Amino acid sequence: MEKRLSNAAMEGDIESLLQLLQEDPLILHRSMVSCSSDSPLHVSSMLGHLRFVRQLLNLNPELASELDSHGCSALHLAAAKGYLGIVRELVKVDPGMSMVRNQEGRTPLHLAAIKGRVEIVSELVRARPESARVMTERGETALHLCVGRNRLVGLKSLIELNGEDDGMVNHKDCEGNTLLHVAVANNQIEIIKFLFTIPGLDVNAMNNNGFTALDTLKQSPRALGDLEIESILRDAGVLSSKDLHVIAVEWIPSPPKIPRIPKPLVSNKSIESETNSRKPVTKQKHTDWLGRKRSALMVVSSLIATVAYQAAISPPGGVLQADETVDDKGNPLEHPRKAGTAVMAYNQSIEYGQFMIFNTLAFLASLSIILLLVSGLPMKKRRWMWVQMIIMWIAITAQVLTYFISLRHMSPDSASGMLHDVTQISVLAWLGLMGVVFIGNVLRMNLWVLRKYGFIKEKKQNHSTDKEVDNDNEDV
């Protein structure tokens, strides 16, 4: 009997249904308590047999509230498949089923929104307007699902039915993302344009990560429409979280001016506390400057050490691959050559010595800087940074000389004349540049020392100018 009822539901055969009811008037009630998860109403609703569904509801309206093994009602299935007539019949019998969520946390309206069934969405919202506010387990509304699946028509329909409710338009999911966040993350240009036409849209809403829609665009993988989306967002007044923070700080009302207390009435303790309150700002600037310099020195010294190490194990001309004990004529060599030794050491011993001296100097100088930076010693004073910068100048200069020696060794004799002139000019230009940098820093250091110990009196300037002078002195 159950198999015959299932076949009748699959074929939408009303005559077979009536015949089964004559044989067993309780067959529809039995189907509700049987082990089968799909009732005849589920099957016929999923296949779109409107007349069969109407007959079933007339005979047993309780079938409309039955759920299958996935927690779906017949209304879920009909809404997902887009059978408007069946949806109307089911809603008419039991409107409350439009609020029921399946095992995935989705209502019939959610499924219709995902599938883009605009007519179904409209019918369900008209039947139960509050169904539009039901959220999934992730806090998503039907509007979020429309945007996530790029269902622009369904989104417009829901917005019209909800009367452009600000709460719905600006609702956030479990990650704090609004409709605008989701549209930007999915590069949906048309939906973004439509959202900006909705009154009351919060264009600068931030999600749980503190990102606005503009920040979301920058964090998302690059796509072809990124430039157009960014232009649309900026034209609509969307800002980044950093810009919002700056604006918020600028709008903080300034505290009322407190009349200056005469000097005799100010205690030494008050002066000391005021001085201490100012120290962290200077210390912070000092720390930032030192931090930037330390990072730059670490990167450059690591590169120089790598290049110098590679040059030492692979000198110009390479190394011998096998022992050489005889010459080309078969005579034994007075000084046999061993495998793994530098070819340049035998052919041009003086140039090889110069190459290794400068290369070793660059290698050890760069390693010295790395050692000082990672040693953990209290070298956060400016004078220690100057010492490390001087060591860095030595390492760079030695690396330059190593390069020119290698260049001249690897060049053929036919190019030695022109190469000698080019090398000489290049070395002189480099030494001139180093001299200018050295003299400039010496002059700035002397000016700083003279100002610090009062040998040079500064002119009285406003507070902003004093800050600029301090910053220039720190950069020394």
pLDDT tens for residues 131-181? 888 999 888 989 999 998 999 998 888 888 876 555 788 889 999 999 999
Which pLDDT value is given to residue 78?
A: 94
Q: What is the DSSP letter of 317?
A: T
Closest CA to 58 of 100, 32, 89: 89
Instruction: Return the residue matching tokens 């035998």.
Output: 346
Q: How confident is the model at residue 458 (pLDDT cuts 50, 70, 90)?
A: low
In tens, the pLDDT along 26-80 reads 888 888 877 667 889 999 999 999 999 999 999 999 999 989 888 999 999 999 9
Closest CA to 2 of 45, 35, 51, 47: 35
Instruction: Return the residue matching tokens 């100002």.
Output: 451
Residue 435 has pLDDT above 70, yes or no: yes
* Amino acid making up residue 79: A
The domain segmentation of the chain, as residue ranges, is 2-163, 278-322+335-410, 413-476
What value does the CA radius of gyration of the chain take, rounded to a whole number of Å? 41
The three-state secondary structure class of 153 is helix
147-150: long-range contacts, CB 8 A cutoff, minimum separation 24: 147/179, 147/182, 147/183, 147/186, 147/188, 147/191, 148/182, 148/186, 149/113, 149/114, 149/116, 150/186, 150/188, 150/191
Angle at 476 between CA 449 and CA 453, to 5 degrees: 15
* 3-class secondary structure per residue, 391-436: HHHHHHHHHHHHHHHHHHHHCCHHHHHHHHHHHHHHHHHHHHHHHH
The three-state secondary structure class of 294 is helix
The residues pairing with 324 across neighbouring beta strands, listed in sequence order, are 337
In tens, the pLDDT along 370-426 reads 887 777 666 666 667 777 778 887 888 888 888 877 777 676 665 566 666 777 787
For the residues 118-133, what does the mean pLDDT come to?
A: 90
Quote the pTM value. 0.49
| Protein fold of 2-163 | 1.25.40
* Amino acid making up residue 95: P
Distance CA 147, CA 188 (A): 8
Residue 476 has pLDDT above 50, yes or no: no
- Specify whether the CB–CB gap between 391 and 369 falls below 8 A: yes
CA atoms within 13 A on the CB side of 400: 16
Q: Token pair for residue 471? A: 């910053």
Reduced DSSP (H G I as helix, E B as strand, rest coil) percent helix, strand, coil of the chain, to 5: 65, 0, 30
* Amino acid making up residue 288: D
